[in-house]
Amino acid sequence: MAEQNQIIVTPNIAGNNKFGSRKEQNIRASFPESPIFKGELTDEERKQYYNDNVLSGEIIGGKGINKFNLDYKGTTQNPVPNLEDVQTGGGGLPASPYMPNPTSPGPGSVSAADQAEYLGEIRDPDFINNWGSGLGGLVSPSQSSGEIAKQTLGNYILGKSYNGSNGKVS
């Protein structure tokens, strides 16, 4: 997270430099109907809009996806994934909750339904040491999504997905 606040809509006070300074009076005269100059858009209003409309809610009918919930909430038909519930085996099922089935469907077939169960070695996720810190990529979305959804602009934690995501509460 930045150590200094960035300009959103409220500009810094204009300086009196000969070059490289704006003339506040001229800008306001050029754009008298600007919602910024009318006070309709403020830094706090923009932050609240972002929290309410970008970090939360539901997007309906956009870019090939009928509906997408920004709060990571599942539905009865499409629940938040729980890796412990993933069925594995042959016939197009994954080899494990963490990897697809790499088995060939056999001569003359390109159908995943013809895949046999993968019988090769699958590493135990508990003993995989990935780089970085935190709970890692083996955490089920059903465990982490609710915590991620609680975040708002301004309460992010440097180096963590959310408080407690590195295994410790700070």
- Three-state SS at 113: helix
- Highest averaged pLDDT of the listed ranges 75-89, 103-117, 121-135, 137-151: 103-117
Structure tokens at 163: 């408080």
What percent of the chain stands above pLDDT 70? 89
Q: Which ranges of the chain does DSSP label H, i.e. alpha helix?
A: 24-30, 43-53, 141-149
pLDDT value at 3 more than 80:
no
pLDDT tens per residue across span 29-43: 999 999 998 989 999
H or E element that contains 62: strand 58-62
CB atoms within 10 A of CB 169: 7
pLDDT value at 158 more than 90:
no
pTM of structure: 0.57
**Which region, left, alpha or beta, applies to residue 106 given φ > 0 means left and ψ of -120 to 50 means alpha?**
left
